[in-house]
Amino acid sequence: MQQQGLLQDDSLPPLTKPDKTTVITSEEKDQVLAAYFASKMSVPDLDLIRPSLHYTLNIKVDKVKKILYQVDTNKAMGGDQISPRMLKGCADQLAEPLCRLFNNCLQRKQWPCFWKSARVAAIHKKSAATHFDGYRLLNEK
């Protein structure tokens, strides 16, 4: 298995930074793209006072089942390696345990670490491939 950024045949072309300079090494490109994506995903005001919620969110089994029945079986597996076909086919059996899991997470305000991590890749979407802002993130979890 090869580690990202250490490949000999770099697939990204040289990138033009916002200051119009060009970066060519994998490490420099990683830094430019990481800074760009971080700026798109940051919270603008961390000191903002959050409103208190006076209700409890409770997920219902029938809603989970309905969502499972709507899973697109033509999509690829996620990081959990569970086939969408399996999720849809086992919707009746999975709905209640998933519902309990989701409600438990909401009640405790804790989420499994696995849900908080992702393996992402920069995918070119528009403009010249040399422009840093012409890339989007692809979750490869």
pLDDT at 66: 97
pLDDT at 8: 47
Q: What type of residue sits at position 138?
A: L
Taking the CA of residue 105 as centre, how many other CA atoms within 13 Å lie in the half-sphere pointing to its CB?
A: 12
pLDDT band of 141, cuts 50, 70, 90 = very low
For 15-24, write each residue's pLDDT tens digit. 888 888 888 8
Tokens matching residue 73: 């079986």
Residue 70 to residue 82: CA distance in whole angstroms: 15
Average pLDDT for the chain:
80
pLDDT at 10: 59
pLDDT at 6: 45
Residue 2 to residue 80: CA distance in whole angstroms: 21
Residue 79 vs residue 74, higher pLDDT: 74
pLDDT at 101: 94
Please check the confidence at residue 33 and state whether its pLDDT lies above 80.
yes
Find the distance separating the first CA and the last CA of the chain, reported in whole Å. Answer: 16
